Structure 1
Amino acid sequence: MKKIIILFILFVSLTTYAQVLVINEFDPDSPSTDTAEFIELKSATPNFSTDGYILVFFNGSSSGADSSYMVIDLDGYTTDNNGLLVIGSEGVSPFPQVLISENVIQNGADALGVYQASVNDFPEGTLATQTNLIDAMVYGTNDADDTDLLTLLGETIQYNDNGTNANPRSIQRFVDGMDNESYSTATPTPRRENDGSGIPINPVFISVAESQYDEGESFDITFISETNVTSDLNFTISLNNFGFNTSDFTGNLSLMIPNGQNTTSTTISIVDDSADEGDEVLLIKFVDLIEPIVPSNNFVEVRIVDNDFTIAAWGTPLNPTTGIVQSTQPEGYYDSLDGLADVALRQALQDIIADPTIVRAQTYADVIDILNEADQNPENSNQVWLLYTEEGRAKLDIQTGSSNAGKWNREHTYPRSRGGFFDIEEDEIADGIDVFWTTKADSLRHGNSDAHALRAADAAENSSRGNQHYGQYTGPSGTLGSFRGDVARSVLYMEIRYNGLEVVNGFPEVTGQFGDLATLLDWHRNDPPDDFEMNRNNVVYNWQKNRNPFIDQPLLVEYIWGNNVGDTWDQSLSIDDNEFSEITMYPNPTNGRLYILGLNNVELVEVFSVEGKLLRTFTAVNNYIDLDITSGLYLVKLTHNNRSIIKKVIKD
């Protein structure tokens, strides 16, 4: 009789899990920001190696065409004591065995499939197929059935995730008897059997009071198990992460939760060294937990703020300086422009900055590294300077997830949708300065990653700006507009650099056209290049091997779009202007009296608001003027011998 029972149980087990590996639970939309989405696979036997299996995701939208958009290689992973393997993002608790980024799973109507195959069998855009398919699920969030996707995968039912932010739900598989397999929605149970059976797990939670500490500070890390442990729990943690290692802190990393208790803690002291390492992030992670003890959370980040940052010799755009940073353009870089005018001048300029034998295109991911250097805050080397909001932001606060609060990202001054740029899969790889694409004037796609027209910007403000034309968008209220000349020169650069782009008057709705030219010319004239802009021009040149000529030679703008269109360009005019720009005004900021050094008997001095409104006029100025105006940022224009220069001045 005992043999018969054993054989019956074995028969039921083999029948129920004949697929070897099945989709046991799936949460594609929890919560609405998708920070806790996950897939749970179940094997017919516990501790099952998933080598040779892959997880493929299919996009059921009209643009997705029921084809693959993501593949996860399951090589090297093993299901747990209950036969479960959770693939999810960091917001999932207990912590997934396979970690993926947030917000990467489509909400539906879409599908996923478990295949016994290679990732190479499913390049992006592969039509859904039953070949080598082990298990599949077509799902949605109350979407209409994708009948084509159901047919392609041999499924008959499309399952819905009916969760909300307040009441999350996942699609869960249940098996009742030999042949009855069903799915329903219920509260998510990652890494636990859907029916509450199986070997109980005891997750341990990592807790830290703050997410950021300064060098020299100490803090506690507390560990709390869900239930009291039934024997002494000894475990080890690590804090290492890239450059942060054991030389950067002191503290005990070998810990114990005593029998019958559920908590322990350790104190970590951060070493205050004298090295300028930049801000770093330590990563609290478990090293050796053994089931049924599992991480509740893991890879907990704590930022360590370096107090040894450096300050540049030049100012921010709010407190600009000139003449400190010299152009790194090669000798004779612009010589081919001399004696040319109008269309010929445009073409010669494009031949320089789009020369396919010299100029390089980097990936969109590389742009993050470029901006960390090019847009570095002169007042703090651990920060980038944000374009529109006129402030520093920690380099580590680059937006990587769905939330943009307090983050910065890459802003296209010439919006992608206006220019018709796009990225490709290779754009997601930061492969460094020595790996690049050949590019030319017709390579419009490369406008997507051209760092001359990409700036670090507050992520929320970038979203607010959207794809508005300049003139429609003038910056956040309460700021001084220190970005205006910078964006004007970057947008004008794009017209010359890429065929198919044009800067025009007004606010056009034609792809390839961008406005407003009159506004941009005004911004260029009233906010001339400064050391910050020259430094970023030098940095971008080091990566792309081309320069923004309107930073090096700002008068070129007048010969191509402005008051000198049709006149013959003579580079010597620009050289004279550079000599003229050596004039300095001090002190800056000033309490009122502003001295002029480098030129006597200036014919005309005009003081403008940053919006371009003329406020004061002085004639026949010897060596100083008195600014009887309120505190703020102003533009001071000096005119002498038919030449003029504009300087930014702050009145305290």
Structure 2
Amino acid sequence: MNTTRRRVYGTVAFMLVVSLIMMYFTITPSFADGSGTSSSPFSVNQGIANQGSTGSVEGYIVGKPVSTSSVTTSDFSDDYAIAIADQVNETNVNEMLFVQIPSPFRSEFGLQSNPSLLGEAVVVSGSLTDYFAHTGVKSVSDMELSDGGGSGDPNDPGDGEPSPYDDTYYSSAVGKTGSALKSELHLIIDDHNELTYSEVWDALRVTDEDPANPNNVLLLYSGRSQSKYENGGNVDDWNREHVWAKSHGDFGTSMGPGTDIHHLRPTDVTVNSSRGNLDFDNGGSPQSEAPDNYYDSDSWEPRDSVKGDVARMIFYMAVRYEGDSGEVDLEVNNLVNNGSSPFIGKVSVLKAWNEMDPVDSFEENRNNVIYDQYQHNRNPFIDHPEWVEAIW
């Protein structure tokens, strides 16, 4: 009898333990990493799917909400909100979370005060609930920048992917940051073959060849594919655009900065004229022949798909030309209307463009062609876009 009771009690106890284990896994939330712990934040898509709960979400800052269905990426009017997404270049508002920023975090995370945060990865903790009548995060208890490793775009320049040139060309620069990195990169890229201004024509026919049509080049601002030999000064010709405007430092077309094809690109004559020597910033009116580009009296905004290209060319020039060997010292600043001074801005906008528009195969090929066939130096910010943030 006692043996029978023990067996019954043992069976009941075993069933109770099993029931408790099953209850635990039933009520324990499933987090972003599937581990059942809160060690990893939700992605933005998971945050959208889990509205009504409380937790942390990681995403890229892609703009500021201005209405239920609209996000702005420039001219930020306040520091009260940000929009985050899983992709650094996301434009679909339905793929975003709108985050209400409480006052303790506004000075550090608001875009009016910190426009350079556009494109940065952030982890936000709070209530996953509508904000601006849109899926969002409110009652935020914590905000912190992250490396974007939890979710998002694997091509983001913050990922620090190694370059095949790290063990050779960049070996003395790897591991450095700040002014030490800038100085070392200058030494690496400083000495190179210099072209004459007339030689630039033939070089651009190779560096900017249309991958879909070897008889054409792709024009930087318009994106138009045009015959390699329709170049010159006529209205619909293409000519040699100095992305770092040659009047910013007054170096003209002399060998060196005036002929450095890392920043010289084919552009439509009329569009080139509209850009002139304007600094870079967001906003303005569409250029009539290239309406995806915007400009006003003091700045030029290129089309989205070459924003990063433009930024990385500018950062290259600021490292390559440091004032030694009798050359001009070019530097980026956070101003427009720089005129003939050897400066170009805005650095905060250029940094955001570097992150919003990752390096693509056309840009990589161009860098390789310049290195292999023409100047024999590289643009380090194409090989390592994250070095922009490491320096500036």
* Matching residue's letter, 1:481: D
Question: Equivalents in 2 of 1:354, 1:513: separation in Å?
Answer: 19
Correspondence 1:347 to 2:177: no
* Alignment equivalent of 2:371, drawn from 541, 545, 548: 541
Change (3 A) 1:556 1:464: same
Question: Equivalents in 2 of 1:547, 1:488: separation in Å?
Answer: 15
Corresponding residue of 1:554: 385
The structure whose residues are more often strand, as a share, is 1
* Matching residue's letter, 1:406: D
Does structure 1 conserve the Cα–Cα contact (< 8 Å) formed by 2:239 and 2:267? yes
Question: Equivalents in 2 of 1:346, 1:383: separation in Å?
Answer: 36
Does structure 2 conserve the Cα–Cα contact (< 8 Å) formed by 1:389 and 1:457? yes
Correspondence 1:360 to 2:193: yes
* Matching residue's letter, 1:538: N
Partner of 2:218, secondary structure, is strand
Corresponding residue of 1:493: 316
Question: Equivalents in 1 of 2:241, 2:340: separation in Å?
Answer: 21
* Matching residue's letter, 1:407: D
Question: Equivalents in 2 of 1:405, 1:365: separation in Å?
Answer: 20
Change (3 A) 1:346 1:330: closer
- 5 Å matches for 1:155-194? none
**CA deviation digits over 1:223-278, x for unaligned, max 9?**
xxxxxxxxxxxxxxxxxxxxxxxxxxxxxxxxxxxxxxxxxxxxxxxxxxxxxxxx
Question: Equivalents in 1 of 2:384, 2:313: separation in Å?
Answer: 13
Question: Equivalents in 2 of 1:462, 1:483: separation in Å?
Answer: 15
Corresponding residue of 2:272: 462
Question: Equivalents in 2 of 1:346, 1:373: separation in Å?
Answer: 29
Question: Equivalents in 1 of 2:163, 2:269: separation in Å?
Answer: 30
* Alignment equivalent of 1:411, drawn from 229, 241, 246: 241
Cα RMSD of the aligned pairs, angstroms, is 2.4
- 5 Å matches for 1:144-163? none
The structure whose residues are more often helix, as a share, is 2
Question: Equivalents in 2 of 1:350, 1:519: separation in Å?
Answer: 23
Correspondence 1:337 to 2:167: no
Partner of 1:447, secondary structure, is coil
Corresponding residue of 1:391: 224
Question: Equivalents in 2 of 1:341, 1:380: separation in Å?
Answer: 41
**CA deviation digits over 1:119-145, x for unaligned, max 9?**
xxxxxxxxxxxxxxxxxxxxxxxxxxx
- Sequence identity (%): 41
Partner of 2:280, secondary structure, is coil
Corresponding residue of 1:598: none
Question: Equivalents in 2 of 1:366, 1:535: separation in Å?
Answer: 20
Corresponding residue of 2:94: none
Correspondence 1:371 to 2:204: yes
**CA deviation digits over 1:85-134, x for unaligned, max 9?**
xxxxxxxxxxxxxxxxxxxxxxxxxxxxxxxxxxxxxxxxxxxxxxxxxx
Question: Equivalents in 2 of 1:505, 1:417: separation in Å?
Answer: 18
Partner of 1:333, secondary structure, is coil
* Alignment equivalent of 2:306, drawn from 471, 477, 483: 483
> Structure 1 length normalisation: TM-score?
0.31
Shift of 1:490: 0.2
Shift of 1:481: 2.5
Does structure 2 conserve the Cα–Cα contact (< 8 Å) formed by 1:413 and 1:487? yes
Partner of 1:353, secondary structure, is helix
Does structure 1 conserve the Cα–Cα contact (< 8 Å) formed by 2:250 and 2:340? no
Partner of 1:384, secondary structure, is strand
Change (3 A) 1:329 1:545: farther
Correspondence 1:452 to 2:262: yes
- 5 Å matches for 1:612-631? none
Question: Equivalents in 1 of 2:202, 2:164: separation in Å?
Answer: 20
**CA deviation digits over 1:297-324, x for unaligned, max 9?**
xxxxxxxxxxxxxxxxxxxxxxx9xxxx
Question: Equivalents in 2 of 1:525, 1:342: separation in Å?
Answer: 18
* Matching residue's letter, 1:365: S
Structure with greater contact order relative to length (CA < 8 Å, sep ≥ 6)? 2
- 5 Å matches for 1:95-494? 329=165, 331-355=167-191, 359-399=192-232, 402=233, 404-423=234-253, 446-471=256-281, 476=287, 478-479=291-292, 480-494=303-317
Change (3 A) 1:478 1:540: same
Partner of 2:248, secondary structure, is helix
* Alignment equivalent of 1:504, drawn from 312, 319, 333: 333
> Structure 2 length normalisation: TM-score?
0.51
Change (3 A) 1:407 1:520: same
* Matching residue's letter, 2:175: G
Does structure 2 conserve the Cα–Cα contact (< 8 Å) formed by 1:363 and 1:449? yes
**CA deviation digits over 1:346-397, x for unaligned, max 9?**
1101010003xxx111111111111101101111111000000111011110
* Matching residue's letter, 1:522: A
Corresponding residue of 2:349: 519
Corresponding residue of 2:358: 528
Question: Equivalents in 2 of 1:421, 1:509: separation in Å?
Answer: 13
The alignment of Structure 1 onto Structure 2 pairs a total of residues equal to: 212
Gaps of 5+ in 2: 1-154, 156-161, 293-302, 323-328
* Matching residue's letter, 1:555: E
Partner of 2:169, secondary structure, is coil
Shift of 1:328: 7.5
